Amino acid sequence: MGRELTGLAAARAVLEEFSSASDTDIAHLVTEAGPDELYADRAWELAIVSTEVAATHAYRAAGGVVSGALGFSIGAYASLHSAGMLTVRQIVMMIDLVLDASLELEGRYAMAAITGPTVGKIEGLCRPGSVEICSVLCPGQALVAGRAEAVAELGERIAPVAVRVTPLEVRWPLHTTMMGAVAERLERSRPGLGGLLPLRHPVYSGIDGSRIADPAKGWELLVQHLVRPQRFDLALPAAVADGFGRVVELGPGATLARAAARVGVGAAAVESFSGFGDSPRRRAGRPC
């Protein structure tokens, strides 16, 4: 997912910094690793976040100006790093803390992508504490997560009115209240993570699009995004309403750029960072 970036000095420096902080060969993960390596829990989280951060640095090095950031899901780390609040070492520490706490959750969990029905229709079939909406990318495209049997049951019930229901294998019920113990562990870890620096530009919450301008609110976002659904369909319009005229997706693939067109961002231009190249595969997006 980061192969094209390795030709850019600013991006290579970031990957080296992540490698040092995590004792992992990040450049290998994002350029050469196969599924067996990459899909290990820690590996894919480090790979995704480091690629996003590397893309942001490469974009700036190429003359791009970042005056605001919105992170979707795990992209919250990259967005707060972009604003200067988090160091690479702090990001790695938090990824490890969240992973360790998640491993203690009991039970089997699953996720399903649901295409077609409205959020309200899906919510009507959810059972808090068992299966909940965990993210909405754009109208007609949502994900649910929870206990495996509850997710399967919801999938069967929604299937007659859905365009598609796609089961996804996950270890944990990300972005649901079932991650409460993990969020509490992260909150308790705050003193050991070191100081959080002032934000040099605003960050918009992937939960509701609220404007974050100070470290206390940034920290609250990191804790809350574990237990609250990601609403790109609400967050991006809220950010654009602040006056941004250009939105650039700084990460592999073009998933968010495509979703932005369906969300509706008025006259704002939406694009993906050209540092990843412009092959047909690039334009189609990459599973990650």
Strand, coil or helix: 216: helix
The pLDDT value recorded for residue 277 is: 64
Pick out the chain residues at pLDDT < 50.
Answer: 279-288
The pLDDT value recorded for residue 278 is: 52
Q: How far is CA 242 from the centre of its chain?
A: 22
All domains of the chain, ordered by start, with CATH? 3-104+177-284 (3.40.366.10), 109-169 (3.30.70.250)
The pLDDT value recorded for residue 279 is: 37
What is this structure's pTM? Answer: 0.91
The pLDDT value recorded for residue 258 is: 87
Backbone angles phi, psi at 266, to 5 degrees: 60, -130
Apex CA 260: angle with CA 114 and CA 123, to 5°? 30
Calpha distance 277→118 (Å, rounded): 35
Q: Which of 101, 49, 102, 59 is nearest to 247 (CA)?
A: 59
